[in-house]
């Protein structure tokens, strides 16, 4: 439903998006990941016709955004939740959008209910919190009941209840057969929400793969083990195994399963107080994969 082919954007000397090709399928939530400055927002702006591509194409449902006869019915997007007139009420903001796009007024009440803003719909948006503005932006995206939804950092400013709500909304929109593309830097939430991932770094495609495959392919399986004799266990495990200390009596072992570590320790008579396989995380996989394409980085101990 969203197709990006050879998409490139140059700002002077900066190659913000570099020959990017990917597709976003219906019935799935696709996570759009990349370090700061990777080119995510620039890509989304080009898909939505807000920025002209230097070369390449981006289409939604087979057409460039500019050629959509009814854009809000083709694609709903939340890019910048601040882009609302502060003197307008949420109700009038949505009503103006509906009128301008030939949508029935009844949709306004429906989407306000969907995002939980009915009670505050008569307030000026200038008085809204960031989380309320995010919800209003999502209401606007849903107004035309589009088959394609694009959300740039929709979790910004949302409280824990709001984050869980977004997760449910995205999953439901995908289950209804829509294509949902969402960017976020919150990896734990992305891991719970997305089925598929598009990862970019310095404007280039780094990965286009299923969530599970991505985590498995880019993370190392580790086992945490606690013992009163860490030095003895370490000597035992040394050959071919990567072992590092974690606290006074803990070791993190990669390259062996928990059962193998347990068996080796038992055979040598080394007492264990804990033996825990560590689940590989999206965060770790993402950081390992994009380490070389991070532009702005502080040293992390």
Ligand X SMILES: Nc1ncnc2c1ncn2[C@@H]1O[C@H](COP(=O)(O)OP(=O)(O)OP(=O)(O)O)[C@@H](O)[C@H]1O
Which residues sit at the interface with ligand X, rule CB under 6 A? 11, 14, 16, 34, 36-42
Nearer to ligand X, 79 or 237 (CB): 79
CB of 14 to ligand X, least distance (A): 5
Q: How far apart are CA 238 and CA 115, in angstroms?
A: 55
- Neighbour count for residue 50 (Cβ, 10 Å): 14
Q: How far apart are CA 32 and CA 287, in angstroms?
A: 14
- Buried b / exposed e over 52-75, threshold 16 CB at 10 Å, is ebeebebbbbeeebeebeebbbbb
CB of 212 to ligand X, least distance (A): 24
Six-digit token string for 298: 């502080």
CB of 272 to ligand X, least distance (A): 42
- Long-range Cβ contact pairs of 126-131 (< 8 A, separation 24 or more): 126/86, 126/87, 128/90, 129/157, 130/81, 130/156, 130/157, 131/157, 131/158, 131/159, 131/162
Nearer to ligand X, 26 or 156 (CB): 156
Helix (H, G, I), strand (E, B) or coil at 197: strand
CB of 156 to ligand X, least distance (A): 10
CB of 116 to ligand X, least distance (A): 26
CB of 202 to ligand X, least distance (A): 8
Q: How far apart are CA 67 and CA 137, in angstroms?
A: 23
CB of 108 to ligand X, least distance (A): 30
Nearer to ligand X, 11 or 245 (CB): 11
Nearer to ligand X, 39 or 146 (CB): 39
Nearer to ligand X, 50 or 258 (CB): 50
Q: Where are the alpha helices (DSSP H) in 83-186?
A: 90-100, 106-115, 130-142, 160-175
Point out which residues pair with 24 in neighbouring strands.
2
């Amino acid at each position: 439903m969203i197709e990006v082919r050879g998409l490139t954007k140059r700002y002077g000397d900066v190659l913000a998006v570099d020959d990017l090709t990917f597709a976003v399928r219906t019935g799935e939530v696709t996570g759009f990941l990349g370090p700061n400055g990777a080119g995510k927002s620039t890509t989304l702006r080009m898909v939505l016709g807000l920025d002209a591509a230097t070369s390449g194409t981006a289409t939604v449902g087979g057409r460039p955004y500019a050629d959509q006869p009814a854009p809000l019915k083709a694609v709903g997007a939340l890019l910048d939740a601040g882009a609302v007139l502060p003197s307008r009420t949420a109700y009038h903001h949505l009503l103006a959008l509906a009128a301008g796009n030939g949508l029935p007024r009844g949709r306004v009440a429906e989407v306000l209910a969907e995002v939980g803003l009915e009670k505050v719909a008569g307030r000026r948006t200038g008085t809204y919190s960031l989380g309320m503005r995010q919800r209003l932006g999502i209401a606007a995206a849903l107004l035309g009941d589009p088959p394609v939804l694009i959300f740039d950092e929709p979790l910004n400013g949302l409280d824990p209840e709001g984050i869980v709500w977004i997760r449910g909304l995205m999953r439901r929109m995908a289950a209804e057969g829509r294509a949902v593309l969402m960017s976020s830097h919150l990896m734990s939430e992305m891991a719970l929400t997305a089925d598929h991932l598009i990862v970019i770094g310095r404007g280039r495609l780094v990965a286009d793969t299923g969530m599970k495959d991505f985590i498995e392919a880019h993370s190392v399986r580790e086992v945490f083990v606690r013992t009163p004799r860490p030095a003895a266990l370490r000597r035992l495990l040394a050959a071919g195994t990567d072992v590092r200390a974690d606290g006074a009596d803990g070791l993190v072992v990669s390259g062996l399963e928990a059962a193998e570590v347990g068996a080796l320790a038992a055979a040598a008579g080394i007492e264990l107080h804990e033996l825990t396989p560590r689940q590989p995380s999206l965060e770790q996989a993402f950081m390992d994969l994009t380490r070389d394409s991070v532009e702005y980085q502080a040293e992390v101990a």
